[in-house]
Structure 1
Amino acid sequence: MRFSHDPHHDGSPDYVTIDDDRARLRVRVPGGADAVYAYVVEDGEARLVEGAPESAADGVSWFAVEIPLLPVVTPYRFAIVRGRRYTWLNQAGTHEHEVTDDGDFRLLTGPNPPSWVPATTVYQIFPDRFARDDDSVGPLAEHPDWAHPRAWDDEPAGSGPAAAGEYYGGTLEGVRRHLDHLAGLGAEVVYLTPFFPARSTHRYDASSFTEVDPLLGGDAALRALTREAHERGMRVMGDLTTNHTGDEHEWFRAARSDPDSEEAGYYYFTDHPDGYVSWLGVGSLPKLDYSSAALRERVYGADDSVLVDRLGGEEGLDGWRIDVANMTGRLGAQDVNHEVSGEIAARMREAAPEAWLLAEHFYDAGPDTRHDGWHGVMNYAGFTRPVWAWLNTGPAGVRYAATHTAAPLPSSGAAEAVRAMRTTNAGLPWRVRAHSVNALSTHDSARFRTVVGDPVLQAVGVAAQATLPGVPFVFAGDEIGLEGRDGENSRRTMPWHRPQDWDRRVLDSHRRLLALHRSLPALQTGGLRWLDAGEHHMTFLRSLGDQVVLVHLTDGPHGERVAAPGDLDAAGLEVVECDGGVRGRFEDKVELSARGPGYLVAVGVRQAG
C-alpha cells in the first residue's frame, strides 16, 4: 500500500494552530485540488467550511481552513474536491465514499496535559520481582501467611490460584539501589505497580490506601526512592485501583459489618453482607460504586484523598496510572466513567499541575478520551496488538493477556498492522495519543521476546516504540531479553546476579533507540505521515518544524521501495540508526531494501510546506 500520494493532516503543531477561539488547520494535498473543505458539526448540525490555497511546490498543494473551536472537543474531517469527486480525509486516512463521524479528527480544548510526557520513557516495575534490599537469592524465611516464598531464580508458575501468592521479596529499596540501571537505559519515569498493603504480590487487592506495604519497606522506602529519583531528574508514577479494593480493605470490612454505614454505600451489595459485585466475578476484588459522593471524596475529592495525598513535592509522586480505567464507574445501566475521569483530571490539576494521568485501557479507548479526562491511555489496541500481530513468530500457548483464553495470537503482515493502527488510533484525539504509551510487554501480557523469539525482531519492535507517536514503555526485564508466556509467567525476577544471561544486543538496541527518541523533537510531538507498507515492511515520516525523520521497519527480506523527493518534503536525509538487514540509499531519490529483519532511521531538513 502506498500512502505518499494521499492527502494528509494530523493534530501536530505543523498542521494545527490554535488562536483564542479558532483553529487554523492545514492540509497537504499531492496533485492539488479544486477545493478543500472542513466538515464540522456543531449542536448536531453539520456544515462545510471552505479553505484557501496556501502554497504549492513539487506537485504538492497546501490548503488552510479556519474553524471555530467548540466547548471541550471540536471534531472535524476534510472533503478534498476534484471536479465532482470527493475524497474524505479523517484520522483513519482517505476514503472515496461517505464516512461516519467516528474517525474524525478531534481537538480538545481546555487545560493541556503535562508537556514533559511525550519526550519521556516509562520503565514499569513489579516491585516484588525487581530487586531485594540485599543480594540474597534464596526463599525468604519471614513472610506473611498468604505468601508462598520462592527463590529469586524460580520461574513464576503462571496463571492459577497460587500465582498471586508467589512471594519473591522485592522491595522499594531494591528499586532505589538499581536506579543507575534505569538511568543508563534512558528511562525517566519509574512506574511502580501497586505499593499498598494487600494479600497478594500483585497488590491490586489493597487492604488500605493510607500506607505503603511494610513488605516493600513502608512509607520511608517510597519517600527515599522518590527523593533520589527526583535528584536524578527522574519521575515516579504510582498505580491506583479506582475500580475496586481488596476484600480485606478497611472500607469493605466496615461496609460488611454495618449495612447502614457510609462505607456500605461505596460498594454494590446484592445481599448484604456476602452478596456483592466484584471485578469480573473475582470475590477478593469488590467493585466501587461512584454513585456515592462520599466515595468520590475519599478517592479523589478531599485534600487527604487517596489520589491527592501522595502527589507532588520532593518526596511525592509525579502521576498515577489508573488500573481498570475502562471499567471505573461502569456497571450495567450505570455509566459515570466520563464524569469520574473528568473529576479526577481536574483534581490532579489542582493538586499537582504537572502530574500525568494515565489510564489502563485494553480495548477501544477512543470514546473514553474525547473529553477533559485521562491524559493518555495504555494503547494496547492502537500499538501493542498490531505490532504483536505483525512480528508474531511465537510458540503455541503464548497468551496475550493475564486472563485465560484458548485463542491463539493473531498473525498479520505489516500492511495489515498499519491498517489496524490507523483504524484504532483514529478514535483518539491527537493530544491523547501523544500522552499515551507504546508498550510491547506489561505485567498483564506475555513477554514480547517470547512473542517474536528473536533479538532482531525484538529490536524492530523497540524501534516502533521509539518512533511512532506515543511514549516508549519498557517492562522491567524486556531490555535484557526476559521471556514469559502469559501475564503471570512474565512477572519474572531481574537476574542481577546473572549478567551473563542478559541479551546485550537487545540492551544496546534499547539504549540507542530510547536515546534517539529523547534527542529528536519530531519523534516526541511531531506529526505522522505514512508513506508505504507491504507484507514485510512499513515506512513513515515524523516531522516537526524543520526536522523530518524517515523510519523504515521490516520483519524480513523485501525488494526495493522508492520514494521521490516530492513524497518526503525533505532534503539532506542522513541515517542516524540502522540495524539488521535494512539497506538505504539517499541520493536523488530514497531507495530502501532489506535482506532480513531490521530498521532504519534517517533525519533530514524540511524543504516544503
Structure 2
Amino acid sequence: MLKEAIYHRPKNNFAYAYDTQTLHIRLRTKKDDVENVHLIHGDPYDWTKDGWQTAKSEMRLQASDELFDYWLAEIQPPYRRLRYGFELISKEETLIYTEKGFYKEAPFDDVAYYFCFPFLNPADVFTPPAWVKDTVWYQIFPERFANGDPSINPAGALPWGSTEPKQENFFGGDFQGVINHLDYLENLGINGIYFTPIFKAASNHKYDTIDYMEIDPQFGDKAKFKELVMKCHERGIRVMLDAVFNHSGYYFPQFQDVLENGEHSRYRDWFHIRELPVRTDPRPTFDSFGFTPHMPKLNTENPEVKNHLLEVAKYWVEEFDIDGWRLDVANEVDHQFWREFRREVKLVKPDAYILGEIWHDSMPWLQGDQFDAVMNYPFTLAALDYLAKNRVNAKSFANQAGSVLASYPENVNEVAFNLLGSHDTPRVLTQCNGNIDRAKLLYILQFTFPGTPCIYYGDEIGMTGGEDPGCRKCMVWDENAQNLELKAFIKKLIDLRTNEPAFGSQASYRILSADEHTNHLVFMKQSNEERIYFVINPSADSIKTSLEGKSGLDLWTKKEIASDQNTLEIDTDAYGFSMIKVKG
C-alpha cells in the first residue's frame, strides 16, 4: 500500500457526530490500492482482565475521485466515547493505521496509540434545518418574474418582454406578480423560493443596496411582502432572501457621507478606504466587490457596521417570518461576523436556513458555527462539463462528484444547495446548446444528487440566455411559447423526489460505474432496504447494463422487470436514461 496516501484526522469531514448517537468515521486511501477496511474501535475506559475491549466494523467504500478512495463507517458508541484505528487489507499485505503510525499488528497495550473522539456532546452536533432536505427551490429574480402591479413600475419601465434584457433596463417585476403565480409554483411542486435582493437599490439586480431596512418601491411595500410570505407559507412554500453584507451600494447614505465629508465623515471606518479623497478611476481607492466602484466593501469588523447588519438579519426574520438567508460573496466576510450572524438569526428562528455563496472548498464555514450549507458550484461545474458541454467523460465526472461528497460531513451534504443555473450564469438550455435530451439528463443528476435542488426561474420551460444580462430575460407566461414537455419532465422528477424515499436527499448515494468509452454513468441510491439504480447515457448509442436484483420497476415508465437470476438486464436508449427501483 502507498502509506503516503492514507489519511485521517479526527475532526471536520473525517470524524464527526452525525447525530446525538452516531459518529461518522472516514478514511482516505490511494485509489484501488486497498480491498477492505475495518474500523477497530472501543471505549477508552473499557478494560477487563483480558485487556482493552474492542470491536471491528467494516467500512464501506463511499466515494472515489481521481487519486483516492474514501471509506466510511457509522458507529454508535454506547458511552459516546471512542478510540479507534484502521485495519487495511490489500492483496499483498495487512496494515494497522493509528494516530501513532503504521503497525503489522494492532497494538492493544495502550489506547494512546489510537485516534480519539473524546465525547459526543449533543451541543457539538451540526444540525441543519431538517425541512431543507425535502425542499425543491425556485430562484426568482424579482424584476423579471412577473409584473402584477404596473402602478409601481420604475421610471422608464418597458413593456414585459418587449426587448432583450440589459444591465440597466427595467420591466416592472414585483411582489404582486409573484403572488399571482403562486399556484403555478405549487403545481410544479416547488416548496421553497429564493429571492435575489429585494432591498432598496439603484440597479435592476439590487446587489447595490441603498437601504437594508426598506424594500425597493418597484417591488411593493412591506405590507405586500408580508402578504407574499404569508401566502407562500399557506402553500407550504418557504422563503429565503439574499443578504448582501459584503458590500453596500454606491448610493448607500453612509458611503455618500464619506464621499462628501472625506476624513471628517463619521462613517469613514464603515468601509475599507485606502486613500482620501475617494476616487473611482482608474481603480477605486477603496476596497469593493472586485474593482466595481458602485459596490464598496463594508468593514464588518467595525462594531457599528456589525450591529447594523445583525439588526437587519434579525429584523426580516422577526417581522416577516422569512425562513432563510442566502449570503452573497460570503467568503470575503470575516468568520467572526458570520458566527455572530448565525447566533442572532438562530435565536429568532432556530430552523432558519443559512446558505453561503462560496464557489470553492468551504469546510472552514461548515463546522456548525457559521453556515448550514453552501451553493454547490463544484457539483454544478462538473455536471455541466459532463452533460452540457461534453468537456469531460463519465469517469471524470464521477471523480469530481466523489471529491465533492468526500469534502464535507454527510449532514452537510444532505442540505447542500444544488443548482445548474442562476442569475450569474448562462441558462441550462443555452449551456446544452439547445439539446433538450442533455438538459433532461442534467436535471436527473441534479434531483438525485445529495442536497436540495434549485431551479432558476424559466429554466423549467426551456428559456434561453447567455451570460448576464442575457440570463435575466422576462419570464415567459404564454404557454404557446413554453416548452411544456420539459416542464412536465421536471414536474415528474419533483414528484418522484417527493414520493420515493430513495430518490431524495436522505438516501445514500454511490456511483457504481463510469465508462470513459461509452460515457455512461451508473449510480445507486438507497434508503433502508429500497434501492434505485440510475443509468445516464449521453452517447449516440444504446447501452446494456446489468443490475443486481431479481425484479424491479422502471420508475419512469412503470414497467415491471423480472429475471430468473439475480441480475437484471437493462436497455438504455441513446441520449436516454433508466431509473430502476429494485424489489429483491
* TM-score, normalised by the number of residues in structure 1: 0.75
Q: Is the 8 A contact 1:345 1:373 kept in 2?
A: yes
1:207 aligns to what SS in structure 2?
Answer: strand
Say if 2:580 is the partner of 1:599.
no
Say if 2:506 is the partner of 1:555.
no
- For residue 351 of structure 1, report the CA deviation from its aligned partner: 1.1
Structure 2 counterpart of 1:493, from 468, 474, 480:
474
Structure 2 counterpart of 1:392, from 384, 388, 394:
388
> C-alpha separation between the residues in 2 aligned to 1:290 and 1:70?
39
Structure 1 counterpart of 2:372, from 375, 400, 412:
375
> C-alpha separation between the residues in 2 aligned to 1:284 and 1:39?
57
Q: Corresponding residue for 2:102?
A: none
Q: Corresponding residue for 2:412?
A: 432
Q: Is the 8 A contact 2:429 2:459 kept in 1?
A: yes
Structure 1 counterpart of 2:207, from 200, 204, 208:
204
> C-alpha separation between the residues in 1 aligned to 2:162 and 2:461?
18
> C-alpha separation between the residues in 2 aligned to 1:232 and 1:379?
27
Q: Is the 8 A contact 1:50 1:65 kept in 2?
A: no
RMSD of equivalent CA atoms = 3.8
Q: Corresponding residue for 1:403?
A: none
Q: Is the 8 A contact 1:16 1:24 kept in 2?
A: yes
- For residue 306 of structure 1, report the CA deviation from its aligned partner: 0.9
Say if 2:228 is the partner of 1:225.
yes
* Residue identity in the other structure for 1:23: L
Q: Corresponding residue for 2:314?
A: 308
* Residue identity in the other structure for 1:501: A
- For residue 541 of structure 1, report the CA deviation from its aligned partner: 1.5
- For residue 426 of structure 1, report the CA deviation from its aligned partner: 2.3
Distance 1:209 1:530, change over 3 A: same
Q: Corresponding residue for 1:333?
A: none
Say if 2:451 is the partner of 1:455.
no
Q: Corresponding residue for 1:446?
A: 426
Distance 1:440 1:22, change over 3 A: closer
Q: Corresponding residue for 1:143?
A: 154
Structure 1 counterpart of 2:324, from 319, 325, 339:
319
Equivalence map 1:239-318=2 (5 Å): 239-258=242-261, 259=263, 263-274=267-278, 275-300=285-310, 305-312=311-318, 315-318=320-323
Say if 2:526 is the partner of 1:530.
no
> C-alpha separation between the residues in 2 aligned to 1:429 and 1:423?
12
- For residue 284 of structure 1, report the CA deviation from its aligned partner: 0.3
Q: Deviations over 1:92-113 (max 9, x none)?
A: xxxxxxxxx9xxxx99933511
Q: Corresponding residue for 2:555?
A: 576
Structure 2 counterpart of 1:564, from 548, 558, 561:
548
1:505 aligns to what SS in structure 2?
Answer: helix
> C-alpha separation between the residues in 1 aligned to 2:301 and 2:277?
19
Q: Is the 8 A contact 1:578 1:599 kept in 2?
A: no
Q: Corresponding residue for 2:69?
A: none
If you compute each CA radius of gyration, which structure gives the higher value, 1 or 2? 2
- For residue 444 of structure 1, report the CA deviation from its aligned partner: 0.5
Structure with larger RCO (C-alpha < 8 A, sep 6+) = 1
2:212 aligns to what SS in structure 1?
Answer: coil
Structure 2 counterpart of 1:544, from 527, 549, 552:
527
Distance 1:213 1:68, change over 3 A: farther
Structure 2 counterpart of 1:352, from 315, 325, 349:
349
> C-alpha separation between the residues in 2 aligned to 1:361 and 1:17?
24
Distance 1:54 1:374, change over 3 A: closer
Q: Deviations over 1:332-386 (max 9, x none)?
A: xxxx3x32222222222111111111111223333432442211111011x2111
Q: Deviations over 1:410-435 (max 9, x none)?
A: 71112211111112332222222211
Q: Is the 8 A contact 2:239 2:324 kept in 1?
A: yes
Q: Is the 8 A contact 2:18 2:126 kept in 1?
A: no
Q: Corresponding residue for 1:112?
A: 127
2:183 aligns to what SS in structure 1?
Answer: helix
Say if 2:142 is the partner of 1:127.
yes
> C-alpha separation between the residues in 2 aligned to 1:391 and 1:325?
29
> C-alpha separation between the residues in 2 aligned to 1:33 and 1:418?
20
Structure 1: segments with no counterpart, 5+ residues: 1-10, 41-48, 57-61, 90-100, 158-162, 330-335, 394-409, 566-570
Structure 2: segments with no counterpart, 5+ residues: 1-10, 43-52, 61-71, 98-114, 279-284
Distance 1:84 1:268, change over 3 A: same
Distance 1:55 1:262, change over 3 A: closer
2:431 aligns to what SS in structure 1?
Answer: helix
Q: Deviations over 1:511-557 (max 9, x none)?
A: 00011111123322111121111242211111222322222222123
Q: Deviations over 1:57-99 (max 9, x none)?
A: xxxxx9775679999xx9999653246546999xxxxxxxxxx
Q: Is the 8 A contact 1:575 1:601 kept in 2?
A: yes
* Residue identity in the other structure for 1:37: L
Task: Give the number of aligned pairs.
Answer: 511
Q: Corresponding residue for 2:48?
A: none
1:203 aligns to what SS in structure 2?
Answer: coil
Q: Deviations over 1:179-226 (max 9, x none)?
A: 011001101011111000111000000100111111111212211110
